[in-house]
Amino acid sequence: MMNLHPSELEALASLIEAILPGMGAGEDLASRYGRFLEALGPVRGLGLRIAVRASAAGLPAVMLGRWARLGALGQQEREECVSRLLSHRRYLVRQVGLLLKVACCTIALQEPRTRERLGLPPVARPDRPRGGA
């Protein structure tokens, strides 16, 4: 299991809540995030960790002009930060936002209750055989 700092998990939970409002990060965020990072590999995993922490620290300052952590903002301000990131005029900035959005959604959708609320089928578990022929 990867050693994840609580501030990194708080940053990820804030991003997930901004991207999927009302869904929340769910339980066992650390294990889901750790599995995702391990699947990415060391270099890409490090890149995602840096992006998560940098966005939590710098997004409010850059997008809203406020010196605050993303987690300290209200829900509407978090959503505004992410919205501005995803509609930024610079292509590379938008792409970082899209990568964060894909990563956060992938991590959040591993939570069974989130999938249930969205009307999605449960995640197929590799230890259970699938139905069919």
List average pLDDT for each run of 10 residues in the chain, which is 133 residues long: 79 86 75 88 90 84 81 85 89 89 87 82 65 50
Domain span at residue 81?
6-117
What pLDDT, on a 0 to 100 scale, did the predictor assign at position 52? 87
What pLDDT, on a 0 to 100 scale, did the predictor assign at position 89? 92
Q: Which residues touch 116 (CB under 8 Å, ≥6 apart)?
A: 122
What torsion, rounded to 10 degrees, do the Cα atoms 11, 45, 58, 22 define? -40
What pLDDT, on a 0 to 100 scale, did the predictor assign at position 129? 55
Does a structural domain hold residue 93? yes
What pLDDT, on a 0 to 100 scale, did the predictor assign at position 30? 85
- Tracing tokens 């610079």 back to the chain, one arrives at 90
Does a structural domain hold residue 27? yes
Does a structural domain hold residue 84? yes
What pLDDT, on a 0 to 100 scale, did the predictor assign at position 44? 92
Does a structural domain hold residue 127? no
Does a structural domain hold residue 1? no
What pLDDT, on a 0 to 100 scale, did the predictor assign at position 114? 80
What pLDDT, on a 0 to 100 scale, did the predictor assign at position 133? 46
Q: For helices 6-19 and 29-40, what crossing angle results, to 10°?
A: 90
Count of domains observed in the chain = 1
Tokens of residue 133, six digits? 């022929």
DSSP 3-state percent helix, strand, coil across the chain (nearest 5)? 65, 0, 35
